[in-house]
Structure 1
Amino acid sequence: MTTITNDFVSSLQKKTDSIPSNNSKESLDQTAFLELMTAQLKFQDPFNPVENKDMVAQMAQFSQVAGISEMNASLKAIAGSFGTSRLAEAANFIGRSVLQDGDTAYSDAQGRYAGEFTLTNPASNVSLEWLDSAGNVVHTQDMGNVPAGKVPFQLLSEDDNGNPVNIGPLKVRIKGAAATTVSTWLPVTAVESSSTGADAMLVTPAGSISASSARRIA
């Protein structure tokens, strides 16, 4: 699995995958096929020579196999270029945050925990609790009357001097309303190739997620 950071992006964009041009000794190339055919003609039984239709069939079969091999090589080259392109594009996510479904928020570089939840109907006396990994409530936010729709929330963690403080992952618990969806912002620290090569993966404190699954980017 390949992982890249900002320092690797420039070198990644300069590299392209190439298909070796030398034929493997284990494969039958055109030269070897012609030599084999010449030997077959040279040592054939003069009283029972190879018929023209048989030779034409052999040549057609070889051409078909060679065409499939060349097509496979072309497809591999195209797939490789797509994978590199996806990684290069996903590298733009590094240092930013993506909105992902889930109720656990992680601090960004500014010490900000944030996200949003969705209400089908308006609610009153809504509050938001932030819980640490042990389940303890570390902060409670009174949100009062909340309209229906997407409701953003955030918590800023700082020390007495105003410096950001990462206090670990915090779980969000909504009281006084039934949210249909809860999403949190996750900082992206790196990107990596998918095991299937279908999509680039974003590395976050919550784990690696698909770039296509992110709701928004900030």
Structure 2
Amino acid sequence: MAVGSVGTTGTSANALSRQTIADNFDTFLTLLTTQLKNQNPLDPLDTNQFTQQLVQFTSVEQQLKTNDFLEAMMLATQNTGNTQAVSYVGKIVTASGSKSELVDGKATWNFAVDKPADISVTVRNASGDVVFTKQGSVGQGESTFNWDGIGDDGSKKPNGSYSITIEGRDQDGNLVDVLTEMTGEVTGVDFSGSEPVLIVGNARVNMSSVLSVRDDGG
């Protein structure tokens, strides 16, 4: 079972920003106090500018607190999703096979046809844009489509979730049903992608593609 690390870049940046704001605020107060002590009583300083700076410091501090809160919510959601994914291990799942996770130049889809067919494969990214197409032929039964992550434009596509559409036609040109659902036992979970991926036999199934879950016993 592969377990990915949880990034802390955002938290570290927030901590650094907060320290910088605190240092600047201390410096600001020191300057303000010094100027107030040494101001000319006959020509007192205009406090409007100082008031505006105080408001700015307060606004930035509130924004940092908001960022901390949002990061905490995202981390809690991620941990909940990971815990749920682990609970699938040993269970029998039925999942849509239209989605797969591209990780380090490899994505795999499983499908089946009830008769030999010529197929047309279309791969789309998370935004729904077509990134790869291919034609080929398969025999009756289950088949596997592997993609190396290289798009039709020759560029290497980023890791992430991709969906597949497969159209099949027999030798007479009639449409053939293509089954992209699959059922099997979850033997592991991969957390290296943008969402947990369940290992089902030789297939990789995005957790968001799961349609049903049941115990191995029935």
TM-score normalised by structure 2 residue count:
0.48
Whose radius of gyration is greater, 1 or 2?
A: 1
TM-score normalised by structure 1 residue count:
0.48
